[in-house]
Structure 1
C-alpha cells in the first residue's frame, strides 16, 4: 500500500513491548522511510531492520524488503542490528566475540582505521571550556523560563567543529538518519539549543551539520585522507572525472571503507608483504604469520577492492588467504568492526525456532522429508 490514506501499524519493539504507530499520510513508499518513521515516532535508537507477518507463511515474521507488503493494521517488528549488551550475550557468544577481538587488537595485528561502529546512542563530545560554560548557564536559564540560547558564530563554529570530528570517528559519509541522531542528541544534552522546527527542535542543527561535514571532508581531502581522495577528480578515470560520477562511499556497515596507510609504511613495502604472504600461505601450520601479514596489508587490499574494483578471480590469485574461513571472519571485522561469527550465530539462535516452525508448516515433498 503506497497511497496517501492514513494508516495504523502495530510495532513490536521487543518480546513484552508493542505500540500502535499512526501514519497520517499513509504507509511510506520505501522501507528506509518507514524505518525513519519508526525511529522518530517510536523513539527507537541505533541501527535496526524491520520484519512483517507474512500471510504466505501463516503470519511468520519475515524480513521487510518492500512496503507494498504492508496494509493498514499490519504488524511489524523491530530487529536491532547493534552489538547486544553484555547482559544479552550468552557465554558462547562472549567466547567467540572475545576471540575475534583478541585477534584484531593484539599488537602484531593492529589495523589502521576505525575500531567502532555507529553507536546505539550518540554521545555528544565535550566542547571548549568557554562553550561548555556558556551552555551550562544557558541550560539553567532554559529550564527556568524556556528561553532558548542564541550562540555566537564562534560558539556555533566550535560546536559544529567538534561534532564533525566526532562523527568522522564513525563515518565519513553519514546518512540522513545519522545526522538526525546527532542533532537530537545535541538538543537533548543541551536543551537551550532547541530551535523551532521538526526533529524535536533539532532540524536547524541537522542542516548545519550536513554543511559542516561537507566542508570537513574537503579539508581532510586536502591533507591526504585516503577514504576521501578516492573520490577526487584526480583519482578517477578521464571518462568518470565528474564530481557526482562513480562516487565511492561505504556500503551500509562499512566502518573502514578505505583506511589510511599505516604510519611508517609505503605501498611498495606493503606489496612486498603481499608477495611474502603468498609464500607463507603455502606453508603448513603457519596461521599466526598469515594473520599478522593479512592485518598489516589491509590498506593495500581495500585499495584494490574499492578503488581498482578488482574482480574476484584476481583477488583470489593475489590474496588466496582471504578466502579461508578464518580470514573471512577477520576481514569482516576489519571492515565493519563487528565480529561476524558470533553475530551470525546469535542472530541464528533468535530466528531458528521460527525457521523450523515455518518449514514444519510446509507441505508436499518438504513435509515428507521432515517426517522421514
Structure 2
C-alpha cells in the first residue's frame, strides 16, 4: 500500500459552497487539538464548533465532544465558525471606538472595535508549535528546563508573527509598556519560553516584538494600508515623517474601506443618509446603520482632508446629533449621570479641574445669559447658559442649558447638564480629529485618561504630580 492509503481522510464541510478534504496520519487526542489542527490546515480564525455524523441517529450531525465518537476511517465533519457576540448596535462602527468598550463592528464596516485589552489574550499558534509549547511547559514544570529557541527557530518566528498580527488588530502603534505587557503575558502562559539569565524572563521578547511591529507596519504600508500611509508625506521627492497617527488612544483612527466597497459606493450611501436625515420623521435605526457603513469614508475625509467643521456638518449632519454622540459615549454618560441629584457635585468637580491643574478655563468654558449668547462664541469649548449673569463660582442650579462651540459655531445645545456637555464635547473632538484646547490641555487629559479611562496607562508628568498632591495615597 502507498503511504497515502495509510493516511486518514477528513471530509470538512465549512459551508454549502466550501467543502474540503484534509489528510492526516492520525487524529489528535482531544477535540481542542483537532480544532488547532483544522485552524492551521484550513487557515481559520476564531472559535469553532465541530460536528460529526452520528450513525446512531441516521448520520445526523451532532456536536463533537469526545474523539472516541469518531469512526476509525473516513470521517465527515462539519465546522461552524462562531460569530462574536453582538450588541444592540452590532452594525455600528464607532467614530472613535475607544469611547465605547463594549461595541462590536460588523462585517459591513472596517477597522478596530475594541480598545487594548488587559490582560492581552495570547493567541493560539499553529498546531505543531502548540504541541512543542505543551511539551516544553511540561518539562518546565517538571525540572525547570527551558525551550532552547536557538534550535527551535520556527517556534520564535511563528510566535512573533502571530503575536504581532494580534497586537496590530488592537493598535498599529502599541506603546512600549503595552509591548512589555504582551511579552510578560506570553512567558506567564508559556514559562518554557523564559530567557535564561534574565530576571523578568521576557526582556528579549519585548525587543523582538517591537521590531516585529515595525516590520508589520512597513509591510502593510507598502501594501497601501490607509492608517499607515497617511503617516508619510513626500517633500522634494523624498518621503518624510508626518505625525497623523492616533494620538489619544483612538482604536479606529483611519480604517480602510470595507472589502468590496469603494469611495463611490460609500458616497451613494452617504447621499441616502442625507435624504433620510432631511425627512420629517427619519428612521433612526436606518441612520445608525448608514452611519456605520460609511464610517471609513467619513474618517478618510476628516483625517486626510481636515475640512472645517461647517463642511463636515454639511456632509454629515447626522454626526452632529446628540443621539449619535450619546450612542458612542453611553457608558461615560452613565458615569456622569447615574442620579440627577449628584449632577451639581459632578459639575463642580469638572469645573474645578482647571484650577487644580493651574489652567485658565476662561477661553474654553463660558457662562452667559440667554439673551447675550451671541457675545460669547469662541473656537472650542462649552457654553453654559444661565438664568442670570453669574460667574463659575455661583450656584449651578441657575444653569438652564449647555451648548457646545466648535470653530465659533454652536454645533449642539440643550444638553441640560455640565457633565453631559463635557462628555459630548470629548466625543466631538474625537470624531472630528480636533486637538484638545491648549488652554485646558491637562484638564482634558484628566477627562480622557482618568475619568473616561482611555489610554490611561501613560500620563504627563504634570498630571501625575497634580493628582498626587490632591490624593497623596
Pick aligned residue for 1:266 from 257, 262, 269: 262
Query: Superposition RMSD on alpha carbons, in Å?
Result: 3.6
Distance (whole Å) between structure 1 residues aligned to residue 324 and residue 289 of structure 2: 11
Q: Deviations over 1:329-368 (max 9, x none)?
A: 44xx4xxxxxx11233135549969648979x9xxx8888
Does residue 1:200 correspond to 2:232, yes or no? no
Aligned 1:1-372 pairs, distance under 5 A: 99-101=88-90, 110-151=108-149, 152-195=152-195, 200-232=200-232, 236=233, 238=235, 242-243=239-240, 245-286=241-282, 287-330=284-327, 333=328, 340-346=329-335, 348-349=337-338, 355=346, 369=395
Q: Can you give the 5+ residue segments of structure 1 that lack an aligned partner in the other structure?
A: 1-96, 334-339
The structure with more strand, counted as a fraction of residues: 2
The structure with more helix, counted as a fraction of residues: 1
C-alpha deviation, 1:215, in angstroms: 0.7
Distance (whole Å) between structure 2 residues aligned to residue 320 and residue 371 of structure 1: 32
Q: Can you give the 5+ residue segments of structure 2 that lack an aligned partner in the other structure?
A: 1-85, 94-102, 353-390, 399-473
Distance (whole Å) between structure 2 residues aligned to residue 305 and residue 371 of structure 1: 38
Distance (whole Å) between structure 2 residues aligned to residue 208 and residue 321 of structure 1: 45
Which residue does the alignment assign to 1:92? none
Which residue does the alignment assign to 1:47? none
SS in 1 for 2:330: helix
Residues 141 and 226 of structure 1: CA distance in aligned 2, closer, same or farther (over 3 Å): same
Residues 145 and 296 of structure 1: CA distance in aligned 2, closer, same or farther (over 3 Å): same
Distance (whole Å) between structure 2 residues aligned to residue 370 and residue 254 of structure 1: 33
1:240–1:246 contact (8 Å) kept in structure 2: no
Distance (whole Å) between structure 2 residues aligned to residue 158 and residue 148 of structure 1: 18
Q: Deviations over 1:188-235 (max 9, x none)?
A: 001111125778221210110010111111222232322222224xxx
- Higher normalized contact order (CA 8 Å, seq sep 6+, divided by chain length): 1
Distance (whole Å) between structure 2 residues aligned to residue 102 and residue 265 of structure 1: 16
Residues 304 and 353 of structure 1: CA distance in aligned 2, closer, same or farther (over 3 Å): same
Identify the range of structure 1 (190-199 vs 179-188) with the bigger mean alpha-carbon deviation: 190-199
How many residues align structurally? Answer: 262
Distance (whole Å) between structure 2 residues aligned to residue 282 and residue 369 of structure 1: 40
Distance (whole Å) between structure 2 residues aligned to residue 231 and residue 148 of structure 1: 41
1:148–1:192 contact (8 Å) kept in structure 2: yes
Residues 349 and 241 of structure 1: CA distance in aligned 2, closer, same or farther (over 3 Å): farther
Residues 238 and 187 of structure 1: CA distance in aligned 2, closer, same or farther (over 3 Å): same
1:281–1:321 contact (8 Å) kept in structure 2: yes
C-alpha deviation, 1:324, in angstroms: 0.7
Distance (whole Å) between structure 1 residues aligned to residue 239 and residue 220 of structure 2: 20
Distance (whole Å) between structure 1 residues aligned to residue 255 and residue 138 of structure 2: 42
2:90–2:105 contact (8 Å) kept in structure 1: no
Distance (whole Å) between structure 1 residues aligned to residue 348 and residue 335 of structure 2: 18
Distance (whole Å) between structure 1 residues aligned to residue 272 and residue 148 of structure 2: 60
C-alpha deviation, 1:323, in angstroms: 0.5
